[in-house]
Amino acid sequence: MDVTLPEETLLEMYWIMLLSRRLDERAWALHRQGKIAFHISAIGHEAAQVGAAYAIRRGYDWIAPYYRDLTLMLALGYTPREFMLSLMGKKGDPSSGGRQMPSHWSLKRANVISHSAPVATQTSHAAGIGLAIKLRGEDKVVITTVGEGSTSQGEWYEGVNWAAVHQLPVVFIIVNNLYAISVRQEQQMAVRNAADKALGLGLPGVSADGMDFLAMYQVMKEAVERARSGGGPTIVEAKVYRITPHSSDDDDRSYRPREEVEQFKQRDPLSLARQRLEKEGLLSAQKVAELEQRAKEVVEDAVRFGESAPYPDPEEAAYPVYAEEVRHA
């Protein structure tokens, strides 16, 4: 293995990917059972996210995420119980107290800023955080994520341009899963790799195999170290595939062939990670079965916790409009 990480770290990364997958699958099931209103999936994106998370100093560095970042959030300490509160719109959801749709993250204790649904708006926030870090002379790093479709937005260009001009400690991750809902990359951009856009903005741009958690970790590690040491921002493109439809309200059969989906499933990031760790002798069939059992229990506990949690009081919708009205920040 060309990446030197302790065994327990590699197993932890695998565990987070597995947990994310099982939670995600359970969310789809809850939706089909009519128990939740909406889910937007991270299935197929797990390796890219866990690779990115382990390349930063978690709890120290800052994160401006997008909605498909469940695995990244779990790696940052977001709990399955908290995810269920958010999915079900229950009281105590740390992202928004039930105000936002599920998967619109915020977790102050982990330096994860709140984001919205209009895409790429968090890109300039990441640049602004990077600017503040630089103004204060600190050595923190910001990572921010978007899908490849979001790189069509002026929002994205303006944020990246700022960071390039001011050499800010930001890593701009583009998670390229080939589709912005139904629109394929070819209709979205004329460049072959989304990372090629870096050329026009004056910063390094690197593409990584986002289905391989260690390949992603490797590329991210380098970009994060460059940012931390004053070398400026980097664009990192994670080439992945969205194995599920865009969201629980989408049906992808109208716009992409089943054969293509099946073909990418052959490179399912979770299976690839398992094979790799088995080859290294870190995982066995028995160990995988144990982890699966543990994931099942954790997911069950989270669902029970979410289902028994109360809804917010209707009156909670009245605040906090202004900072003066914050009651339980």
Partner 1 sequence: MPEMTLIEAIRQAMDEELARDERVFIVGEDVGKRGGVFRATQGLYEKYGPKRVIDSPLAELSIVGVGIGAALYGMRPICEIQFADFIHPAFNQIVNEAAKMCYRSNGEWTVPMVIRAPYGGGIGGGLYHSQSVESFFTHVPGLKVVIPSNPEDAKGLLKAAVRDPNPVLYFEPKKGYRLIKGEVPEGEYTIPLGKAKVSRPGQDLTLITYGMTHYYALKAAEMVAAEGIETEVIDLRTLLPIDKETILQSVKKTAKALIVHEDTLTGGYGAEIAAILAEHAFMDLDAPIKRLAGPDVPAVPFSHPMQDWFMPNAQKIAAAIRELAAF
Q: For the stretch 241-266, what's the b/e string if a residue is b when 16 or more beta carbons lie within 10 angstroms of its beta carbon?
A: bbbbbbbbebebeeebeeeebeebee
Q: Is residue 21 flagged as an active site residue? A: no
Instruction: Decide: is 263 part of the binding site for partner 1 (CB under 8 A).
Output: no
Looking at residues 161 to 180 of the shown chain, list those that interact with partner 1 (rule: CB under 8 A). 161-162, 165
* Count of alpha carbons within 13 angstroms of residue 265, beta-carbon side: 8
Instruction: Decide: is 121 part of the binding site for partner 1 (CB under 8 A).
Output: yes
Instruction: Decide: is 202 part of the binding site for partner 1 (CB under 8 A).
Output: no
Among 158, 260, 300, 307, binds partner 1 (CB under 8 A): 158
- Give the separation between CA 326 and CA 329, rounded to whole angstroms: 6
Q: Is residue 78 flagged as an active site residue? A: no
Kindly state the smallest distance separating residue 311's Cβ from partner 1, in Å: 14
Q: Which of 58, 157, 166, 255 is catalytic?
A: 255
- Give the separation between CA 172 and CA 156, rounded to whole angstroms: 9
Among 6, 34, 135, 186, binds partner 1 (CB under 8 A): 135
Q: Residue 180 or residue 295: which is nearer to partner 1 going by CB? A: 180
- Give the separation between CA 44 and CA 18, rounded to whole angstroms: 11
Greatest distance between any 2 Cα atoms in the chain: 56
Q: Is residue 31 flagged as an active site residue? A: no
- Give the separation between CA 237 and CA 234, rounded to whole angstroms: 10
Looking at residues 27 to 86 of the shown chain, list those that interact with partner 1 (rule: CB under 8 A). 62, 64
Residue type, 246: H
**Pairing outcome for strands 179-180 and 183-184:** antiparallel
Instruction: Decide: is 99 part of the binding site for partner 1 (CB under 8 A).
Output: yes
Instruction: Decide: is 200 part of the binding site for partner 1 (CB under 8 A).
Output: no
Tokens 């209009």 label which residue?
A: 118
Of 306, 319, 248, residue with least CA distance to 99 = 319
Binding site for partner 1 (CB under 8 A): 62, 64, 94-97, 99-100, 104, 106, 108, 113-114, 116, 118, 121, 123-133, 135, 154-155, 158-159, 161-162, 165, 319-329
Residues classed as catalytic = 242, 246, 255
